[in-house]
Amino acid sequence: MTYKITESFVETGEVIEREATADEIKMFQAREKKFADIDKAKLAQAKTKAAAKAALLDRLGITADEAKLLLS
Amino acid sequence: MATTTNYGWTTPDDTALVKDGASAIRTLGSSVDTTTKNLNPETTLGDIVYRSSSANVKTRLGIGSTGNVLTVAGGVPTWAAPAVSSSGLVFLNKTDFTASSAVNINDVFSTTYDNYKVMIVGTSTTANKGQATIKMRVSSTDTSTNYVSQKNAAYDANVVAARNEKGTDEGYIGDIAPLDETDVISLDVYRPFLTKETTWIGHSFSTQDTFLVLSGFSQTDKTSFTGFTALFTETSTGSIYSYGYAKA
């Protein structure tokens, strides 16, 4: 994957498009990994929460809609 | 001696002698040359002229600097920088970008305005929805610490809220739609150039997720920031518009 950076200098009106430097590429890739890890963790957390909710509903013997009604 | 009606050039009388013809033509030619030059004093590309206080003599006005406008000072035309509007929202810059991972907007914040409006109109160039974040800049260098972000995404009756979802080295502002869709993130930026905390407040509608996204972050360094970088998790194409809120 190529990483392009657009640089705009408002005072002069100059706009430059350039390829990212090696350090910038490292930064982009580290960021992609960090964001992917965050999304993965969020998904895992959501799955755990959904499983816990289903287990609780099961123990109570009510449906999700009935639980909503109860809390409304 | 006879003269012409408009410019008063001297011409031979009907009774003048033929032997004096050469001298008369030379005098007339010289007069025509002087008048023509007085009416066309331009010397350089872009010069314009205006009437001087003397009849049949124009004054040369050299081309102004880039961005200058023609105005009047002391009763004559002159080039000058455009006046800054004393009220309302003042357009500062539009930067177009194509398939970029980051867009740097340099030297947009200054003492002229305290608060700004920024609009990011963009489309991810991949099949995936992208996410946009901001880093503040000083002298063309990003600041990568001390961001506190809040994201509230509302869908139907649900609100998903998250603090520092993307960490504290950049501020989350919204999503960028994939391919055929375009997302618009509208942002207000408070006090970036003042030595106080800078706050960004954004709102947008994620066309892919049909989420209303309210976002905001604070950069707590109390630094005079001169610009910002918009970062995209997916390469994106679009435009960034910057405006200043006039102080009075």
In angstroms, the CA B23 to CA B34 distance is 17
**Residues ≥6 apart with Cβ < 8 Å to A21:** none
Query: What is the domain range of residue A13?
Result: 4-71
**Residues ≥6 apart with Cβ < 8 Å to B2:** B10, B11, B12, B13
Token pair recorded at residue B80? 């000058």
Instruction: Mark B162-172 as b/e (b = at least 16 C-beta within 10 Å).
Output: eebbbbebbbb
Is the separation of the CB atoms in B146 and B238 below 8 Å? no
Is the separation of the CB atoms in B60 and B40 below 8 Å? no
* Phi, psi dihedrals of residue B212, rounded to the nearest 5°: -85, 125
> What confidence category does residue B138 fall into, taking pLDDT thresholds of 50, 70 and 90?
very high
Please state the domain count of chain B: 2
> What confidence category does residue B133 fall into, taking pLDDT thresholds of 50, 70 and 90?
very high
Query: What is the domain range of residue B19?
Result: 2-80
Radius of gyration of chain B (CA): 31
Tell me if chain B has a CB within 8 Å of the CB of A34: yes
Boundary of a domain, candidates B43, B63, B80: B80
Quote the percentage of chain B above a pLDDT of 70.
99
Question: Are B101 and B176 found together in one domain?
Answer: yes
pLDDT at B207: 84
Q: What is the mean pLDDT of chain B?
A: 92
Boundary of a domain, candidates B80, B105, B120: B80
Question: Are B158 and B235 found together in one domain?
Answer: yes
Give A-chain residues touching B132 at CB under 8 angstroms: none
Give A-chain residues touching B233 at CB under 8 angstroms: 31-32, 35
Under an 8 A CB cutoff, do B93 and A5 touch?
A: no
In angstroms, the CA B59 to CA B40 distance is 9
Quote the percentage of chain A above a pLDDT of 70.
100
| Minimal CA separation from A15 to chain B, in Å | 8
**Residues ≥6 apart with Cβ < 8 Å to B147:** B135, B164, B167, B168, B169, B170, B171, B217, B218, B219, B220
Boundary of a domain, candidates B16, B50, B80: B80
SS3 B88: coil
| Minimal CA separation from A3 to chain B, in Å | 6
Question: Are B165 and B50 found together in one domain?
Answer: no
Residue type at position B248? A
Please write the tens of the pLDDT for every residue from B27-37: 999 999 999 99
DSSP H helical ranges for chain B: 21-39
Between the alpha carbon of residue B25 and those of residues B11, B28, B31, B57, the distances in Å are: 8, 5, 10, 23
Question: Are B65 and B166 found together in one domain?
Answer: no
Please write the tens of the pLDDT for every residue from A26-68: 999 998 888 888 888 888 988 999 999 999 999 999 998 998 8
Q: Is the pLDDT of residue B134 over 80?
A: yes
SS3 B119: strand
Please state the domain count of chain A: 1
Question: Are B233 and B110 found together in one domain?
Answer: yes
Give A-chain residues touching B235 at CB under 8 angstroms: 3-4
Please write the tens of the pLDDT for every residue from B140-160: 899 999 999 888 888 877 888
Across the range B197-204, mean pLDDT stands at 95
Question: Are B26 and B114 found together in one domain?
Answer: no
Question: Are B46 and B141 found together in one domain?
Answer: no
Please write the tens of the pLDDT for every residue from B228-237: 999 999 999 9
In angstroms, the CA B70 to CA B82 distance is 9
Give A-chain residues touching B140 at CB under 8 angstroms: 7
Radius of gyration of chain A (CA): 24
Question: Are B130 and B209 found together in one domain?
Answer: yes
Give B-chain residues touching A35 at CB under 8 angstroms: 131, 166, 233
Best mutation target, B68, B93, B101, to test chain A (most A CBs within 10 A): B101
Among B99, B105, B227, select the one facing A4 at the smallest CB separation: B99
pTM for the whole structure: 0.70
Question: Are B59 and B108 found together in one domain?
Answer: no
ipTM entry: 0.75
Q: How many other β-carbons are positioned within 10 Å of the β-carbon of residue B233?
A: 23
Question: Are B125 and B167 found together in one domain?
Answer: yes
